[in-house]
Structure 1
């Protein structure tokens, strides 16, 4: 699915066009400049709920989920900043929650130097709620809380597809 097609499926009712100033404010708050492909997306799409079928697969090819919530430069429940300040599920600073799937699982981008710009799925059902954890622990095979989806935001978007209707 191309980015323009995806954006056309996001219900952005009541949102204003994102600005470069708002984007820079988010980048200042997280301490880094975001990847160019994701910056372009944020300036084109304020975020909202996806109104169609935007399915995604695991890197091995089998079905992983469907995008439901798209976070952006806005001030309501679909806000990147609000979700970062008060996440629904446990997370770490190296992860930027950018979308959620149909089950509320976060789709995140790593903003640390080692994994910068990669896209990850967080399985909130195996989260550790009572103790702190590191990104390395969460990515380990022993835990499997943070799972790889795509090497870049553009690759993740290119892999989205609309589920064909059953006949």
Structure 2
């Protein structure tokens, strides 16, 4: 795996602060990735989702930025705050594909650390308007497993 850095290095304290905002500790393997690379372009970048959705390309994995960053749209925490009305609680977008779909990680107890593909073109609200997981597709049980699936 090769990661091309895009963002400045981040500090453990910034990750701790992000975890407070997210309301959960990040899975250890994903936290280590942020500490080492702080997101960026990844190669290989092809991901097999499932037979229905086929493959996608991971465009970028988000990082944690400071307030002076020019990369607000690629900031993990800012994305979380901007998307929390579209993505179910306990799910955090950690990257995207070129079509505007998200790569997400689960922070809920029963699915903690699992990585999902979020299809933004599919509905994810029940008749009462509550967010559902109907457009989330499991791609790996861990962040490391997700990285291993890239080809």
Normalised by the size of structure 1, how large is the TM-score? 0.76
C-alpha deviation, 1:77, in angstroms: 1.6
Match of 1:108 in 2: 104
Q: Indicate the structure (1 or 2) with the bigger Cα radius of gyration.
A: 1
Match of 2:48 in 1: 57
Matched, 1:124 2:116: no
Secondary structure of the structure 1 residue equivalent to 2:83? coil
For 1:118 and 1:42, locate their aligned partners in 2 and report how far apart those are by CA, in whole Å. Answer: 16
Match of 1:145 in 2: 135
Q: Alignment partner for residue 60 of structure 2, among 69, 73, 90? A: 69
Match of 1:164 in 2: none
How many positions carry a matched residue from both structures?
Answer: 144
For 2:85 and 2:121, locate their aligned partners in 1 and report how far apart those are by CA, in whole Å. Answer: 9
For 2:25 and 2:84, locate their aligned partners in 1 and report how far apart those are by CA, in whole Å. Answer: 24
Normalised by the size of structure 2, how large is the TM-score? 0.83
* Unaligned stretches of 5+ residues in structure 2: none
C-alpha deviation, 1:18, in angstroms: 0.8
Q: CA RMSD for the aligned pairs?
A: 2.4
Distance 1:27 1:101, change over 3 A: same
* Deviation digits for residues 111-149 of structure 1 (CA, Å, limit 9, x no counterpart): 010110000111111134796324xx42xxxxx411111
* Unaligned stretches of 5+ residues in structure 1: 139-143, 162-167
Is this contact kept in 1: 2:10–2:34, CA < 8 A? yes
Matched, 1:22 2:14: yes
Match of 1:47 in 2: 39
Secondary structure of the structure 1 residue equivalent to 2:58? strand
